[in-house]
Amino acid sequence: MSCGNFWDSCPDFFEQNPDVSFSQILEGFRINKNNAEGTPLADQETCAWNAAELCPVGIIHIEA
């Protein structure tokens, strides 16, 4: 999804994919290299969860 809410609200965990303009989890936090699943650091959990909840299609999954 190309929703800027992710990288605007939690830029230390999300980014915009430059090739397709979709939101994705930064590479260092991905689970099994999947750009739509990740585990945030403790100090990123709140912003990561809040950003994921803003997703109108529920495509981003966060594991704490």
Is pLDDT at 42 greater than 70 in this prediction?
A: yes
Write the CATH number for 56.
3.30.70
Give the integer Cα–Cα distance in Å for 32 and 5: 24
- Report pLDDT for 3: 65
Boundaries of domain holding 13: 5-62
For the chain, give the mean pLDDT: 84
Number of domains in the chain: 1
20: exposed, middle or buried (Cβ count in 10 Å: 0-12, 13-18, 19+)? exposed
The string of pLDDT tens digits covering residues 2-30 is: 567 778 888 999 999 888 888 889 999 99
- Report pLDDT for 50: 86
